Amino acid sequence: MDVSEKDELRNGDTTANYDDESANNNNPPPDWRVSGSNQVSAPNDSYPPENQMMDSFGQTLWYDPTNVQAVGYGGFNGVNNASSSSSSFRGNNNMDRSLEMGWNLLPPKGNGMFLPNASSFLPPPSMAQFPADSGFIERAARFSLFSGGSFSDMMNHHHQQQQQQQPLGNPTESIGLFLPSNVGVAHNDASAAMKESNVVRSSEQGNKQNVPGSGNVSEDTQSSGGGGGNGQKGGEASSKGFDSKKRKRNRQSSEAGQSHRSQQSEEEADNNGDKKRNDEQSPKSQGNKTNSGKQTSDPKDGYIHVRARRGQATNSHSLAERVRREKISERMKFLQDLVPGCNKVTGKAVMLDEIINYVQSLQRQVEFLSMKLATVNPQMDFNLEGLLAKDALQLRAGTSSATPFPQNMPMVYPPLPHGFMQQTLSSMGRNISSPLSPINGGYKRQEANGWEGDLQNVIQINYGAGDVPPDSQAAAAAAAATAASLPSSNMKVEP
């Protein structure tokens, strides 16, 4: 019979399988001890006409403030106080030892709902008066699952929650959800829902859908910030599994009130921020660029706070990983704009190949052009053209150039070989007679044309100087100026 009672207590079965034998005084204490966590499950069982067992059950029953109020038992009116039910629950603990002790303890506390006349409430009509509301059943179911802890705290919490939850259907739903296998999901969704309210970035990835059954729970926990805070904490503490004890500890700690819970949630948010900060500080250097899709908070500390998106893992490592991945994809998009002809290509691997091909092609082009440069012309022209081009650039803009005109111009002015200049100019002039237009036609871009135009102008000057001696002075002056600047530029060239 003990076994049967144990089973009943554990299952929270409402069948009236209660035996009179187990109603002995000897049995209840061991039964209570064995199913210490199931003390409150007694209400689940039927209410047998057995006085003693009814008393032992009645202890827990009477401690249910809402229950008593709803039922309105004759000696119990106004005796029970929800606020002080905690102490009454502790009284219940003391009563575990023996019923008599409990009887003695209860009245002094003033919460003694337990009267020796409990038997008067035993008949079935009283049972009919027992609240058949779903709330009671739900609470009973929950109590059967949870161990030790604060009976009244849970009552209070649930009471508050219930007050905030409009539909009555919730408790029945929550019953199913409070089963250990599902609660983890519920809390996860609750925490995820909480976080979703804080989601900052419009996700490219699709939002994962919540479990439909728990939608109510998540919304309700959101509506009650404290509950949500609790749920978040519970979800984070054990996102994978659900521990009833942890949950109850949460409830106990937040017994003070909603403000407490809101503080808690704030602390958790800070903890989250810190955690993410710390995690994301280590893999990244200070000067890294961040994803523009994320919201920047707290610019004073220079950190980017990242929130987990709905349906995403909240592991700090995975968060950092996700941040990194988003950075890389952003850069890939940037590169896509750079590399010509990559708009249609999607996917990282193909993009990467395209980029690599482009870089290789550019490098090959450099090599090819250098070969061309090496073979095309003798050395002198090179030098001269460099000087002239430099002069043209300096004359034109000058600001972007890195070589400032030196204050003290070395006295290479006179020794500049004019003859040398003319000789090279004439050679160049022969070369650069015709192809002004092809150069212009070769480049479609404006800047290329503009630059080319300058180069051509410079070359034209030399060309002109080669033909007309009077102009050579101008060209020589120009060349001299550039030659003067040459030493300084050479000083710059050598590191």
Partner 1 sequence: MASADKPINTDVPEKDVFALHFLQSLSNLRRQNAFNSPDDTTNNRVKKIKKAAYVSMARAAGGTNRLWSRALLRRAAKENNKVVIFSRRKKRVTWLRRSNRRDPVDAERLRNLLPGGGAMETSKLMEETAHYIKCLSMQVKVMQCLVDGLSAK
| Among 389, 395, 409, 416, interactor with partner 1 by CB under 8 A | 389
Q: Is 480 in the site for partner 1 (CB under 8 A)?
A: no
Q: Is 373 in the site for partner 1 (CB under 8 A)?
A: yes
Q: Is 287 in the site for partner 1 (CB under 8 A)?
A: yes
Alpha-carbon gap, residue 391 to 192, rounded angstroms: 66
Alpha-carbon gap, residue 114 to 54, rounded angstroms: 11
Q: For residue 395, what are the contacts with CB-CB under 8 A and spacing of at least 6? A: none
Nearest approach in angstroms of CB 216 to partner 1 is 36
Q: Is 219 in the site for partner 1 (CB under 8 A)?
A: no
* Cβ proximity of 293 and 333 under 8 Å: no
Q: Looking only at residues 424 through 443 of this chain, which bind partner 1 when binding is defined by CB under 8 A?
A: 431-432, 434-435, 438-439, 442
Q: Is 367 in the site for partner 1 (CB under 8 A)?
A: yes
| Among 286, 343, 408, 446, interactor with partner 1 by CB under 8 A | 286
Helix-helix angle 446-467:469-493, to 10 degrees: 130
Alpha-carbon gap, residue 73 to 123, rounded angstroms: 13
Q: Which is nearer to partner 1, 220 or 280 (CB)?
A: 280
Residue 475 burial (CB count, 10 A): 23
Nearest approach in angstroms of CB 471 to partner 1 is 20
Q: Which is nearer to partner 1, 127 or 342 (CB)?
A: 342
Nearest approach in angstroms of CB 408 to partner 1 is 20
Q: Looking only at residues 232 through 271 of this chain, which bind partner 1 when binding is defined by CB under 8 A?
A: none
Q: Which stretch binds partner 1 (CB under 8 A): 148-156, 160-168, 207-215, 275-283?
A: 275-283
Residue 256 burial (CB count, 10 A): 12
| Among 350, 371, 468, 477, interactor with partner 1 by CB under 8 A | 371
Q: Is 360 in the site for partner 1 (CB under 8 A)?
A: yes
Residue of 78, 16, 12 lying closest to 53 (CA atoms): 16
Q: Looking only at residues 289 through 348 of this chain, which bind partner 1 when binding is defined by CB under 8 A?
A: 289-290, 292, 296, 299, 302-306, 321, 323-325, 327-328, 330-332, 334-335, 338-339, 348
Q: For residue 239, what are the contacts with CB-CB under 8 A and spacing of at least 6? A: 184, 187, 188, 191, 314
Q: Is 181 in the site for partner 1 (CB under 8 A)?
A: no
Q: Is 453 in the site for partner 1 (CB under 8 A)?
A: no
Please give the structure tokens belonging to residue 400: 């972007």
* Cβ proximity of 308 and 314 under 8 Å: yes
Q: Which is nearer to partner 1, 77 or 281 (CB)?
A: 281
Nearest approach in angstroms of CB 9 to partner 1 is 52
Q: For residue 370, what are the contacts with CB-CB under 8 A and spacing of at least 6? A: none
Alpha-carbon gap, residue 93 to 102, rounded angstroms: 8
Q: Is 402 in the site for partner 1 (CB under 8 A)?
A: yes
Q: Which is nearer to partner 1, 257 or 410 (CB)?
A: 410
Alpha-carbon gap, residue 155 to 279, rounded angstroms: 39
